[in-house]
Structure formats: C-alpha cells, structure tokens
Amino acid sequence: MDIVKKRITVLGATGSVGLSTLDLVRRNSSKFSIVSLTAYSKVEELAALAVEFGAELAVIGDETKLATLRNLLAGTSIEAAAGEGGLIEAADRDAEVVMAAIVGAAGLRPTMAAVRRGATVALANKECLVCAGDLLMQEVKAHGATLLPVDSEHNAIFQVFDVKRASSVEKVILTASGGPFRGRSYDSLKSVTPAEAIAHPNWDMGAKISVDSATMMNKGLEVIEAYHLFPIKKSQIDVLVHPQSVIHSMVEYSDGSVLAQLGSPDMRTPIAYSLAWPERMSAPVKRLSLAEIGSLTFEEVDLKAFRCLALARDAMEAGGAAPAILNAANEVAVAAFLSEKLRFVDISSVVSDTLAACDIKAPQSLSNVLEIDRIAREAAENQLALRAQ
C-alpha cells in the first residue's frame, strides 16, 4: 500500500525553525511532502530548498528578488511568487500542516490565512499571539483550525496540560535559562555588547531572539502567549529561571502534582511533536541523561536587572493595544542595540517610554493590529531620536 504523506508548508523556511523543520522532513521523506516554502531575502537558499524538496510553490518576501527566484527555478515545475500576496498564497495552499515561522509582524496575515482554511498551524511566530491573540483565537475557533505551539515552553505545557480538566490546573510555570547574563546586576549590564548578548548558553537562535532572551523580553512575550493558548487566568502564569534548560515548562495541579516535560535543548523536539501530532516521530536529538546532568536548579527572576519581563506582564494586564505596542517597540529597540546605537539596558527604557507615549484603542481587526504596529514603531523611533540628541 502507498503511504499517504502529510503535506507540509513552511513559512520562514530559511530561518532556524524552518531549517530544523526541513531537517526532520528530510530524515522522514516517506512520511512528509513539501507544498510551499517561503523566505524573506535568502533567494538562493530558498530556491535550492524548493528544488531539493520538490515544492509546488516558492515565495520570496522581498519582491525585488522575484526575477532572481524565477531564474533559479527555471526548468523546474516550481511556481514562484513574491511579497505579502505570495506569502498568503503559500499559507492558503492545501497543506495539512503549516509551520508558521516567519519572524515579526510579516507573519500575521499568512498565519491568519492558514487558520481561516482550518489548517493545523504549528505556531513559531510570537507576534501572532502577542499582537493579535484575541483575534487569532477567535478565528481558530470559528474555522475549526488546530493551533500547535512550537516554542519549547508552550509545547511542553501543551504536552502535560489536561485541557478536559482545566479547572484542576492551579498554575503553569514557564522556565527560562536566564540567558548569557544570568546573575548579573543592572549596573553590570550597561556596557554589554551585541556579541555578548547573542551568545546564548543553551540554544542556537537568531540574533534578535537571542537578545530577547538576554533581556528576558522573550519570556515576557511567552507569558502573553501562554495566556492566549491555554484556559488559564493571567495570575496563574509564573516564570522560574532554570539554567540547564532541561525542564521546558511545568503545570501544577490542585492536588499538588506538578507535571513537567523534559528534554535536551533542541528545537527539533517540539517541531517533531508538532509535525507528527497527534502521533510521535523519531527526532535526531541528544537523548537526555539525568545522571550525566547530575542536578537541576531553579531561581527567581531578578526583575530589577531584567525589566522587560515586568513590562510584558504589565502589557498583558493592560490588554488592548498594549502587547502589540510592547512588541513593536522592542523590535525597534533591539535593532538599535544590535547596530550599536542603543545600550543594552536602554532597550527596556525605549519600550517603557513608547508604551507611555501611545494611547491606542484595542484592535478590532488584523488591519488595526498592523496599524498599531506601524504607529508604535514610529513612536519607538522617536524615542531613539530623543536619546540621540
């Protein structure tokens, strides 16, 4: 009998999550086939991947590179497209699973397109839930889509959260590695460099996400995501620093039980879980040896040194447009830090001042979300300009 392959689309194929996804597809070619692949600017890499995996469609976000993409795909049957329209077309193709791994606000419309056709969406894009969580979850429910969290922390919670008995859950506990500056004081962080900030001790991530981990904004965004993903109250979400990154998150129940998901720090584990769900599949990750690790430790978060986590919690409590403003301001501030135009400790200050400067109503549509994102970015740029004077 012929095995029916599960059809996969990867939005953001040349990023770290996208490449890890394709690594698993490559190793399990009898189980999966690729429908669409997208990238923002790495046109040569995108074309090579599209040819290797026999994709139906390849989309480059940068419209100026469409001609190059077409030339690279000449002689194949692979369709080429570009821009936001192309990304939405890729998400709308008939794939059972859409890996939504486009970083930033650019991933909002394509992810929503996949949700609206009732697909299983493996969500690796934080902005969808942080900026448009209420809207996205409404669409998931309305169209019968399935949302599978790919972030290691949320994937861990998903695996041990008893949804049918949610009332018995007292708390979800997100773990954080603490990043490269764990244990450092606020004053000692004033002189850190971009190279130091992106040197994560456990995970191999892109520069922006690595900086978010160093400031702990990444954990703050994950707190907001957890609120939308699981039937819990805002007050039921805790964060603990766990330097070994072995326990990825925990769920505490009313009888005192605490269930945790453990594993080596490798994104291919949660990706594999999402691709194979509701089954499991083999993943080429280092097997966990607790005897070799020896001990697991935990610490409270130092909110004085890592203000971004507190800012994210405040934005979650405020609701409305605040999370979207928080996210946009953070992206602008992190970009300025990476280009050495802003100190590491001033990332949180730019975010805080931008939140204070923006008085915007809650978004009622995806267009509203994108407009809030635009306004907040302008406000954050203004904050940078004031500091440069």
pLDDT tens for 107-165 read 999 999 999 999 999 999 888 999 999 999 999 999 999 999 999 999 999 999 999 99
Percentage of the chain beyond pLDDT 90 is 92
The residue-averaged pLDDT of 34-54 equals: 98
Q: Do 332 and 367 share a domain, yes or no?
A: yes
Of 150, 114, 126, 129, whose CA–CA distance to 9 is shortest?
114
Q: In total, how many domains does the chain have?
A: 3
| Residue 140, pLDDT score | 97
User: Is residue 101 situated within a structural domain?
Assistant: yes
Res. 340: pLDDT tops 90: yes
User: Is residue 161 situated within a structural domain?
Assistant: yes
Res. 202: pLDDT tops 80: no
Q: Do 23 and 144 share a domain, yes or no?
A: yes
The residue-averaged pLDDT of 198-210 equals: 74
Q: Do 295 and 180 share a domain, yes or no?
A: yes
**Structural domain of residue 344, as residue ranges?**
319-389
Question: In which residue are the tokens 């900030």 written?
Answer: 197
Q: Do 167 and 294 share a domain, yes or no?
A: yes
| Residue 348: Cβ within 10 Å count | 22
pTM for this structure?
0.92
User: Is residue 1 situated within a structural domain?
Assistant: no
Of 130, 150, 170, the last residue of a domain is: 150
Res. 1: pLDDT tops 60: no
- Angstrom distance (rounded) from CA 167 to CA 72: 54
Res. 179: pLDDT tops 70: yes
Across the chain, mean pLDDT equals 95
Q: Judge contact between 330 and 351, C-beta under 8 A.
A: yes
User: Is residue 270 situated within a structural domain?
Assistant: no
CATH code where residue 101 lies:
3.40.50.720
Residue-wise pLDDT for 80-100, tens only, equals 999 999 999 999 999 999 999
Sheet containing 258-262, strands listed edge to edge, beginning at the edge strand earlier in sequence: 237-241, 169-176, 247-253, 258-262
Both structure tokens of 98: 């859409």
| Residue 208, pLDDT score | 84
Of 117, 150, 183, the last residue of a domain is: 150
Q: Give 304-326 as a DSSP string.
A: TT-HHHHHHHHHHHH-TTHHHHH
| Residue 205, pLDDT score | 65
Q: Do 184 and 169 share a domain, yes or no?
A: yes
Name 171's bridge partners: 252
The residue-averaged pLDDT of 282-286 equals: 94
Q: Judge contact between 72 and 43, C-beta under 8 A.
A: yes
Q: Do 233 and 370 share a domain, yes or no?
A: no
User: Is residue 354 situated within a structural domain?
Assistant: yes
Percentage of the chain beyond pLDDT 70 is 98
User: Is residue 311 situated within a structural domain?
Assistant: no
User: Is residue 134 situated within a structural domain?
Assistant: yes
**CA dihedral (309, 310, 316, 322) positive or negative:** negative
Q: How much is the CA Rg of the chain, to the nearest whole Å?
A: 21
User: Is residue 246 situated within a structural domain?
Assistant: yes
Of 102, 127, 150, the last residue of a domain is: 150
The residue-averaged pLDDT of 266-288 equals: 95
